[in-house]
Structure formats: structure tokens, C-alpha cells
Amino acid sequence: MITIKSKKEIELMRAACKLTAEVHEEIAKHIKPGISTYELDKIAEDFIRSHGGIPAEKGYPSYQKGVPNFPGSICASVNDEVIHGIPSKRVILKDGDIIKIDLVAYKDGFNGDAARTYIVGKPNNKEDERLLEVTKQAFFEGIKYAVKGNRIGDISHAIGEYVEKNGYSVVREFQGHGIGREMHEDPGIPNYGKAGRGPRIEPGMTLAIEPMVIMGKSDILELDDGWTIVTEDGTPAAHYENTILITEKEPEILTLL
């Protein structure tokens, strides 16, 4: 069921999303060669808790038998890892690495969700930089259609068309989603599809829109840890996400300061 947020609920969403954006800004200061993804995870958790929030991804339940709940406060996915990378003391960032940080801050009953991709230190090549640029722009191409009266498929189509026009692939097995009291709510928001399909977009919806883009083919694999998703062909991937609010006019991006 798609939830339409009240004015009070929207204000609480704004607070959770502001905290999410602030955590990203704090993490960005520390992304440099020599730091581990475990250290980035601790920075994020300490920041969230010290500002009255809870890292919602920590302990997030797995839906697979025998797979433990997610152990980190952030997802930290490096290079060919697309999403759901588990922070580790063994993963030390080096020049040219592409790291995706996806985090959810829970505060006063509501969630804010955003993902960013960074190149660590000096980029290896221009193509890596272009991958990040296209992924970020795909989000902005999508939200042009996140307006009252359109359909979710209009967002999905715009994202997929832009990514593929630029020679990249979108992940098809994972998607954006509604968000609010729960981290994942209806509707699902694929990063591909036909325009004019899906639920009607209405004011008061809060949506997490998140292009996940692969430099090579769209095929993915899940590692034995039950969480980490990697590209099958070993090419790098990027991820860019914001939580937005549907209004009577243009969408409001809640996770940008």
C-alpha cells in the first residue's frame, strides 16, 4: 500500500533526511587512500547516534535462510561491488577505487535514504569519472517526471533510457522504493521500463529513487556473504540515490542540504 504523508509526517521525514545528508557530508571528509570501510562505518554510526538517530541498516533482516542480518551501519561497496557491500577492516581504500556509500538514518519514527559514489584519491581514468556523472544525472533525468499526475513508469523509463543512451547498463534485479515509517514501502521504482505504466504519482508520496549503473553488462552475482552484489563481468558500478517528496509542483529532494 502506498502511503501519503501528512504535513506532520513530512516534517519528520525532512528531519530524518537532513540527518542522512549530513552523515554523507561527514563521511565524504574521510574518504581517502588508507582508510578502511569499517572505519567509515564507525564514523557514520557515531554521527547518526550523536544526532539522535539510529543507523537503520544495522541489523536489517535478511530474507535468506542462514544469512545473518546486515552487520554494518552503512553499505560500502567498492569497484565491481554494486550494492550491499559489508564494511570490513580488511577493505582498505586505495587511489582510484570507486566506493558506493548507501545509508539510511532513522529518526523520530521515519527513515531517510541516500547513496553516493566517490572516486578515492586520484581517478584511474576518465571513463570512471564519466560513469559517476552519468549515474548521478540519471537520477535527475528520472525526477523530471516525478510530478503529480504522472506514473512511476515515467520515472523508470527516463532513467533507463538515459543510462543506455550513454552506453551503460542498469541493474534490473534491484530498484528504488517508497519510504517513510518503513525503509522499504510501496511502490517499487525500477530503473527501466515503459512510460505510462505503474501507480499514479500523487502529492505526499515520499520516494527513494536510486539508479544503479554498471559500466559493462547488466548481469550481477551475489557473493557467499548473502549480501554483496557484484557485476558478473567485473566492470565497475556506481549508485546515486535521494529521498524525494512529491508536491503539487516540482519534487523536493529531501536528502540534499
| pLDDT 10s digits, 29-77 | 999 999 999 999 999 999 999 999 999 999 999 988 899 999 999 999 9
Kindly report the backbone phi and psi dihedral angles of residue 39, in degrees, each rounded to the nearest multiple of 5, phi listed first.
Answer: -65, -40
**Gap between the Cα atoms of 216 and 27, Å rounded:** 28
Query: Which pLDDT does position 140 carry in this prediction?
Result: 98
Q: What's the CATH code of the domain at 139?
A: 3.90.230.10
Per-residue pLDDT at 181 exceeds 90: yes
**pTM above the 0.95 mark?**
yes
Residue 78: inside a domain: yes
Distance CA 58, CA 224 (A): 19
Beta strands in the chain (DSSP E): 54-55, 75-78, 81-83, 98-107, 110-119, 169-170, 176-178, 185-189, 206-209, 212-214, 220-222, 229-231, 237-239, 242-245, 252-253
User: Over the stretch 97-147, which tens digit does the pLDDT of each residue have?
Assistant: 999 999 999 999 999 999 999 999 999 999 999 999 999 999 999 999 999
Does residue 65 fall inside a structural domain? yes
Q: How far apart are CA 147 and CA 55, in angstroms?
A: 30
Q: What pLDDT does residue 186 have?
A: 98
For residue 8, give every residue at least 6 positions away whose Cβ sits within 8 Å of its Cβ, in sequence order, or none. none
Residue 209 located in a structural domain: yes
- Are the beta carbons of 81 and 237 closer than 8 angstroms? yes
Query: For residues 64 and 81, is the Cβ–Cβ distance under 8 A?
Result: no
Average pLDDT, the chain: 98
Question: Residue 62: its pLDDT value, please?
Answer: 93
Residue 181 counted as domain residue: yes
pLDDT of 185 over the 90 cut: yes
DSSP string computed for 131-169 = HHHHHHHHHHHHHTT-STT-BHHHHHHHHHHHHHHTT-E
- Residue 107 domain-assigned (yes or no): yes
pLDDT more than 70, % of the chain: 100
Within a domain: residue 1?
no
Predicted confidence at residue 63, as pLDDT, reads: 86
Residue 45's closest CA among 104, 120, 88?
104
The count of domains in the chain is 1
Q: 2 in a domain, yes or no? A: no
**Residue numbers of the domain that contains 29:** 7-253
Task: Give residues with Cβ within 8 angstroms of 141, minimum separation 6.
Answer: 158, 159, 161, 162
Task: Read off the pLDDT of each residue in 169-183 and give the average, rounded to a whole number.
Answer: 98
Q: What pLDDT is attached to residue 75?
A: 98
Residue 143 in any domain: the answer is yes
CA distance 118 to 237: 11
- Distance, in Å, from the CA atom of 196 to the CA atom of 226, rounded to the nearest integer, reads 35
